[in-house]
Amino acid sequence: MLKELNFLKFIVRNTCLQEQQQQQQLRQRHIHVLIKWCSPYRFNRRQYVTAKSCSIALQDNSNKSDKNKSDNNDTDSRGGVSGGVGCTIKHRHLELEKIDEEVSRLLALKNKLGEGPSQTQKFVLKTPKGTRDYAPKQMMLRQSVLDKIIAVFKKHGGETIDTPVFELKEVLTGKYGEDSKLIYDLKDQGGEILSLRYDLTVPLARYLAMNKISNIKRYHIAKVYRRDNPAMTRGRYREFYQCDFDIAGSYDPMLADSECVKIVSEILDTLAIGDYVIKLNHRQLLDGMFEACGVPNDKFRSICSAVDKLDKSPWLEVRKEMIEEKGLLSDTADKIGEYVQLSGDRELIEKLLVDEQLKNIPSAVKGLKDMHLLFKYCHIMGLSDKISFDLSLARGLDYYTGVIYECVLKAEPKMLNGCSEEQGTIGSVAGGGRYDNLVGMFDTKGKQVPCVGVSIGVERIFSVLEAKYAADGIKQRTNEVEVMVMSAHKGLHEKRLSILNDLWNQGIKAEHFYKLNPKLLNQLQYCEENQIPLAVVLGDSELEKGKVKLREISTRKEEDVLLTNLPDEIKKRLH
């Protein structure tokens, strides 16, 4: 009898163990499903944490339950078979109910939120903020502008270089004052810490110091990047082109500086974008003015950055910033206001040279004498009516040390889609100045290379010209094709290719329809739409005589021309 009882206990215990294993497998499947459905990609963070905690709790409860069952089974083995089996079944039932309840709740939540990644978020196809695409018409306009600018640079003896689009972050750090926050930093990939270039001036200084160059007259046209607030209609972007011209070397005062002013004037006159004024000032004069007004030395650069905002903000706002943010006394700010609201010509310079507050400050006197000489040279170059001495001009970049200048263009209201005259202000289209100490920051021995340069804001010029052409109804060509080779009859496509090949070999820009037998009317319409000036028309009767018809699209006049003379005749009519 005892053997039979022990055998029965053995069977019950094995049965319980099998049931526990099945329950454990079932729990693992449920937990796996819960974790999968509660992935961070399907639910938000809070729901994911809740669900995962819930599944872990279930697992903990099941482990506790298993332990309890084991204890109960031990008790049953000592106290009886029926109690152990009943307790096991009860625990299993409660456990499964808990799991089913949680699974049902999470399934409902899953259905409410949707299927997750399978319902992908709608992707908006666009360019990043502050950038733009250039269509063929815009590219032709841009290339035309750049060609004219390069021609001026070359006329003044410029040679070009190129530098990387990104630099070591330490190269750019500390060169731009408060504008340093606009630098784009690149994500660290475990190597060098890099940033996208903010302008082309600091890379030039690094290039000169690294290659031990002390004299160069260089131009550089490339893209730069700034985390600025873009204003697309005003030509203000986060990715944009700069066209820089710089003269490096030790020369007599104001000779190189005045040539940079002349270059700006020549470029804007060549582009014919409207009236402009080139504002001139001097960094040493500004420092002397701040000293005369009682500004502490350690606040010169921050106050200079505040003054630089006068082209965008009224004086009262700038004054408020000086007092509340920069910690300047109100009397000091008012004294600065008396100066920075002055503008004029050489007469103003002469007046300031005898100013009671400025005449005893060496930096102010030095700046005024430089300005007097600069105006003299600009007058010789015929620039007197295009320049203005403006004490509000500050240029916030830290590296300027001498003359600074900025060219401002005032757009006509019609050029900016009906904006008011105030809204139509394009602002600065060129700027620059002298930076004598920048190269020395990179040289191991601190060797200085005096430099002066100008930067043309071509993106704003593009915006002005685009709006101007649209307002005037000017149609722009998107290619430079000079001749269209066409056939009036069928089966002449091979002859077309032969003539095209001859024209291309002679340097003539030509094209044809990519069809074996195109209609003559379609070919002529294509020429008119694309402003192609000439057409070579092939006909059976003319080809038998060794001739083709040369047609002027604008006048529709035609003339028979020998094939042997065709390239020369085309060149004669084009030029």
| DSSP per-residue letters across 433-450 | EE-SSTGGGTSTT-----
**String of b and e for 469-500 (b: at least 16 CB within 10 Å)?**
eeeeeeeeeeeebbbbbbbeeeebbebbeebb
pLDDT band (50, 70, 90) for residue 145 = very high
Range list of β-strands (E), 128-214: 159-160, 166-168, 194-196
pLDDT for 43 beyond 80: no
Half-sphere exposure of 393 (CA within 13 A, CB side): 28
* Residue found under tokens 């074996």: 516
**Of 200-204, 245-249, 318-322, 517-521, which range is least confident?**
318-322
Strand partners, 219: 160, 245
Average pLDDT of 251-274? 96
65 membership: H or E segment, kind and range: helix 45-79
Average pLDDT of 408-418? 57
Characterize the bridge pairing of strands 425-434 and 558-562: unpaired
pLDDT for 4 beyond 60: no
**Of 182-191, 339-348, 360-369, 380-389, which range is least confident?**
182-191
In three-state secondary structure terms, 303 is helix
Q: Which of 348, 431, 338, 424 is nearest to 388 (CA)?
A: 348
Question: Would you state the pLDDT for residue 7?
Answer: 55
Alpha carbon separation from 420 to 218, 414, 424 (Å, rounded): 39, 9, 6
Question: Would you state the pLDDT for residue 445?
Answer: 87
Question: Would you state the pLDDT for residue 518?
Answer: 95
Report how far residue 423's alpha carbon sits from residue 416's, in angstroms, rounded to the nearest whole number: 8
- The answer for residues whose C-beta is within 8 angstroms of residue 171's C-beta and 6 or more apart is 202, 203, 206, 442
Question: Would you state the pLDDT for residue 427?
Answer: 72
- The answer for residues whose C-beta is within 8 angstroms of residue 482's C-beta and 6 or more apart is 508, 509, 510, 532, 533, 534, 570, 574
* Residue found under tokens 């399934």: 107
3-state secondary structure 501-551: HHHHHCCCCEECCCCCCCCHHHHHHHHHHCCCCEEEEECHHHHHCCEEEEE
Report how far residue 409's alpha carbon sits from residue 24's, in angstroms, rounded to the nearest whole number: 79
- The average confidence (pLDDT) of the chain is 83
The tens digit of pLDDT for each residue in 437-461 reads 999 999 888 899 999 999 998 988 9
Q: Which of 416, 496, 508, 530 is nearest to 463 (CA)?
A: 416
- The third-level CATH classification (topology) of the domain covering 136-412+426-472 is BirA Bifunctional Protein; domain 2 (3.30.930)
Average pLDDT of 323-352? 90
Q: Which of 161, 165, 173, 179 is nearest to 442 (CA)?
A: 173
pLDDT band (50, 70, 90) for residue 93 = low
DSSP-assigned letter for residue 43:
S
- Amino acid identity, position 176: Y
Q: Looking at the domain that runs over 483-574, which CATH code has it been given?
A: 3.40.50.800
Question: Would you state the pLDDT for residue 188?
Answer: 76
Question: Would you state the pLDDT for residue 326?
Answer: 86
Question: Would you state the pLDDT for residue 407?
Answer: 94
Domain boundaries, the chain: 136-412+426-472, 483-574
Range list of β-strands (E), 399-498: 403-410, 425-434, 451-456, 483-487
As a whole-number percent, the residues of the chain with pLDDT over 90 amount to 54
Report how far residue 402's alpha carbon sits from residue 437's, in angstroms, rounded to the nearest whole number: 10
**Of 16-25, 299-308, 401-410, which range is least confident?**
16-25
Helix axes 330-340, 283-293, angle to 10 degrees: 140
Structure token pair of residue 420: 């008011």
DSSP-assigned letter for residue 155:
H
Report how far residue 207's alpha carbon sits from residue 449's, in angstroms, rounded to the nearest whole number: 12
Question: Would you state the pLDDT for residue 28?
Answer: 66
Average pLDDT of 265-294? 93
Strand partners, 554: none
Structure token pair of residue 29: 């499947």
- Amino acid identity, position 167: E
The tens digit of pLDDT for each residue in 52-87 reads 454 444 455 555 445 444 444 444 444 444 455 455
Which is higher by pLDDT, 115 or 231?
A: 231
pLDDT band (50, 70, 90) for residue 146 = very high
The tens digit of pLDDT for each residue in 464-485 reads 888 888 888 888 888 999 999 9
Structure token pair of residue 502: 């001859």
| Residue 361 CB coordination number (10 Å) | 19
Which is higher by pLDDT, 419 or 350?
A: 350
The tens digit of pLDDT for each residue in 156-210 reads 999 999 999 999 999 998 888 777 888 999 987 778 899 999 999 999 999 999 9
Structure token pair of residue 240: 């944009």
From edge to edge, which strands make up the β-sheet containing 483-487?
510-511, 483-487, 534-538, 547-552, 558-562
The tens digit of pLDDT for each residue in 380-399 reads 999 999 999 999 998 867 88
Which is higher by pLDDT, 565 or 61?
A: 565
- Amino acid identity, position 72: N
What is the sign, positive or negative, of the torsion defined by CA atoms of 94, 96, 101, 106?
Answer: positive
| Residue 183 CB coordination number (10 Å) | 19
Range list of β-strands (E), 40-190: 159-160, 166-168
Helix axes 346-353, 362-380, angle to 10 degrees: 160
Report how far residue 82's alpha carbon sits from residue 72's, in angstroms, rounded to the nearest whole number: 11
Report how far residue 338's alpha carbon sits from residue 408's, in angstroms, rounded to the nearest whole number: 23
Q: Give the residue ranges of DSSP H helices in 80-159.
A: 81-113, 136-155
pLDDT band (50, 70, 90) for residue 121 = low
DSSP-assigned letter for residue 198:
S
Alpha carbon separation from 67 to 64, 71, 267, 559 (Å, rounded): 5, 6, 89, 107
Report how far residue 520's alpha carbon sits from residue 524's, in angstroms, rounded to the nearest whole number: 6
* Residue found under tokens 């706002």: 317
- The answer for residues whose C-beta is within 8 angstroms of residue 305's C-beta and 6 or more apart is 177, 178, 394, 396
Query: What is the C-alpha end-to-end distance of the chain, expressed in Å?
Result: 125
